[in-house]
């Protein structure tokens, strides 16, 4: 399986490197297109989304409603998942062109 390597840097030093399947980029970009649909279309298509996509949207909506820096640990606690799972979900959002900014410790919605 082909993978894309994505890193989050702190002061130019790679600190987190994750290998994500290449199809992650396409699926994340598709999710961003879904997010931009009007609300009626979203209601129609929402039942067709997989649980993993719903989880990604939940995180993004939380970030969008609270546009401050959130540590990965805080988000992990809030969404009851591991810190690494939270980081991977945020990386998927970033790869999908969602307007977020990542550092090695935190993420925020870009207004």
pLDDT, one tens digit per residue, over 46-92 is 788 778 888 898 999 999 999 999 999 999 999 999 988 898 899 88
Domain count, the chain: 1
Candidate from 1-10, 62-71, 97-106 with smallest mean pLDDT = 1-10
Task: Note whether residue 17 is domain-resident.
Answer: no
Beta bridge partners of 88: none
Query: What's the whole-number mean pLDDT along residues 5-30?
Result: 64
Task: Note whether residue 78 is domain-resident.
Answer: yes
Question: Residue 4 burial by CB count (10 A; 0-12/13-18/19+): exposed, middle or buried?
Answer: middle
Task: Note whether residue 19 is domain-resident.
Answer: no
Residue 37 has pLDDT above 80, yes or no: yes
d(CA 96, CA 98): 6
Task: Note whether residue 60 is domain-resident.
Answer: yes
d(CA 108, CA 42): 24
Report the CATH number that the domain containing residue 65 is assigned in CATH. Answer: 1.10.10
Strands 3-10 and 13-21 turn out to be antiparallel
Q: Could you tell me the sign of the dihedral formed by the alpha carbons of 95, 50, 61, 38, in that order? A: positive
**Tokens at residue 8, please?**
């989050």
Range of the domain at 102: 27-109
Using pLDDT thresholds of 50, 70 and 90, give the confidence band for residue 17: low
Q: What is the pLDDT of residue 100?
A: 92
Task: Note whether residue 101 is domain-resident.
Answer: yes
Give the residue carrying structure tokens 């799972």: 85
Residue 24 · residue 4 · CB < 8 Å = yes
Task: Note whether residue 10 is domain-resident.
Answer: no
Whether the pTM exceeds 0.85: the reply is no
């Amino acid at each position: 399986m082909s993978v894309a390597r994505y890193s989050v840097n702190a002061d130019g030093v790679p600190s987190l490197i994750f290998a994500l399947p290449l199809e992650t980029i396409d699926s994340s970009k598709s999710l961003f297109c879904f997010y931009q649909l009007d609300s009626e279309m979203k209601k129609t298509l929402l039942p067709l989304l997989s649980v993993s996509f719903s989880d990604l949207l939940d995180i993004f909506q939380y970030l969008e409603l609270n546009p401050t820096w959130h540590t990965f640990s805080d988000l992990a606690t809030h969404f009851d998942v591991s810190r690494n799972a939270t980081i991977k979900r945020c990386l998927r959002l970033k790869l999908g062109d969602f307007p977020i900014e990542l550092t090695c410790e935190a993420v925020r919605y870009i207004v």
